[in-house]
Amino acid sequence: MTDEFGAFMPDVDIHISGAPGGTLSGRTFAAKDVFDVAGYPTSNGNPGWRETHPLPTLTAPAVQALLDAGADLVGKSICDEMCYSLVGSNAHYGTPINPRAQERFTGGSSCGSAAAVAGNLVDFALGTDCGGSVRVPAAWCGLFGIRPTHDRVSPEMVSPLASSLDTVGWFARDARLFNQLGTVLLNDAAENFTPSKILVAEDMFDRLDASLAELLRPLATRIAETTGLTPEPVTVTDENLDDWFEVFRIVQAREIWTQHEEWVTRTKPKFGPGVAERMAAAPSITEELAAPAREKREKIRARMELLLEGNVVLCLPTATIPPMRSAPPEQLQTSRETNMALTSPSSLTGTPQIHLPLAEHRWCPVGLSLMAWRNRDEVLLDLAELAASNLN
């Protein structure tokens, strides 16, 4: 298969046929290079990781579920190093091309998965999302993408980043297939739920560039109209969303260092720009700093549960438009901070969030997200399919 977008790991030639007669027979997919596949290396975006971890002898349950459903695995996709980035660039394995805006980044860390789906190299792809690593690439590449309820998809045999924040998600171009994948991947913890109202997160729209907000706000109303739900404006938080991102940043860094301190100290891996600086800073997040952030996280969870209780879903912007591939480091950092303020509510609370590709702005794909309280993923998938069928 020709990899014209640099989406796949360059030295891992993989093709595993799915079980015959399954519901996904005839479909192809890629798995982000954090998922173990028996007999193939897992690099987690870093050569040192691959060199110091044994060749997997078992396949991650999420990958195996898709194979058992009949889909063919045809590639392991490039990811940002250690998944500790939101840009879509890897100093060791390359920077995938965004098929929908080739002069701009794909978003990360599930960059190769997004590029493979957006470039029609596969029908769908697995990714992981800690702080936006499925949602942002979905937005920047014009795809459907989901961060499910925390642990609704098995995280076993997936390279960890920050365990209380990590989730397994997926991308697709087609809303019906995107919904169908939920029946294969989600466990049986679904909550019976019938929404009647869409809450429109006004304060999160205010985070956007004025021209982008002007484009997206009416689309929130159109989603409500096409799904038969009543729109209602709300304020997600009376605080600054940057404060929520700061809570996320501290909790994530503490968990990352707790998870990886021994490996980093022992193997001294070489990290690329951005990731190197964040890894170097992670040890400074002590338990004394992390404990108040975790307490604040519980207050954020309580706030979001209060907002999302009852028969409601929340509509919010997923991300800004992607930065240019030529953007300087300070611009990339600003993009990271702006977008993670938007993605932090779902990450901190373990709630499901789906990106819907809806429009273009400055020749870039843009869209909106739907969020609900935990274990209401299936309803969000149904709403996404309904909205897509009525808006396109």
Half-sphere exposure of residue 216, counting CA atoms within 13 Å on the CB side? 31
pLDDT digits (tens, 9 = 90+) for 180-212: 999 999 998 888 899 999 999 999 999 999 999
Nearest to 152 by CA among 353, 4, 312, 10: 353
pTM for the whole structure: 0.97
Assigned domain for 244 exists: no
The alpha carbon of 319 is separated from its chain's Cα centroid by a whole number of angstroms, namely 11
Average pLDDT value for the chain: 96
Assigned domain for 318 exists: yes
- Are the beta carbons of 374 and 151 closer than 8 angstroms? no
353-361/230-234 β-pairing = unpaired
User: pLDDT value at position 52?
Assistant: 97
How many domains would you assign to the chain?
1
> What gap in Å lies between CA 293 and CA 284, rounded to an integer?
14
Q: Which tokens sit at 276?
A: 């190197």
Q: Which tokens sit at 369?
A: 């997200």
Assigned domain for 298 exists: no
Kindly report the backbone phi and psi dihedral angles of residue 7, in degrees, each rounded to the nearest multiple of 5, phi listed first: -85, -30
Q: Which tokens sit at 65?
A: 């579920």
Assigned domain for 137 exists: yes
Strand partners, 75: 30
Least confident range from 132-136, 266-270, 388-392: namely 388-392
The alpha carbon of 63 is separated from its chain's Cα centroid by a whole number of angstroms, namely 17
Q: How far is CA 193 from CA 198, 203, 270, in A?
A: 14, 26, 47
Assigned domain for 9 exists: yes
CATH number, domain of 365, equals: 3.90.1300.10
Q: What is the residue range of 201's domain?
A: 1-236+309-392
Over range 304-310, report the average pLDDT.
95
pLDDT digits (tens, 9 = 90+) for 1-49: 789 999 999 999 999 999 999 999 999 999 999 999 999 999 999 999 9
User: pLDDT value at position 192?
Assistant: 86
pLDDT digits (tens, 9 = 90+) for 65-113: 999 999 999 999 999 999 999 999 999 999 999 999 999 999 999 999 9
Instruction: Classify 8 as helix, strand or coil.
Output: strand
Assigned domain for 284 exists: no
User: pLDDT value at position 140?
Assistant: 98
Assigned domain for 265 exists: no
Q: How far is CA 45 from CA 50, 234, 272, 319, 339, in A?
A: 9, 39, 10, 23, 22
Q: Which tokens sit at 156?
A: 């076993």
Over range 119-143, report the average pLDDT.
98
Nearest to 34 by CA among 75, 84, 82: 82
Over range 293-320, report the average pLDDT.
97
At position 284, the amino acid (one-letter code) is S
Strand partners, 37: 40
Assigned domain for 292 exists: no
Active site residues: 32, 109, 133
- Are the beta carbons of 155 and 143 closer than 8 angstroms? no
Q: How confident is the model at residue 355 (pLDDT cuts 50, 70, 90)?
A: very high
- Are the beta carbons of 76 and 12 closer than 8 angstroms? yes
Nearest to 257 by CA among 350, 160, 343: 160
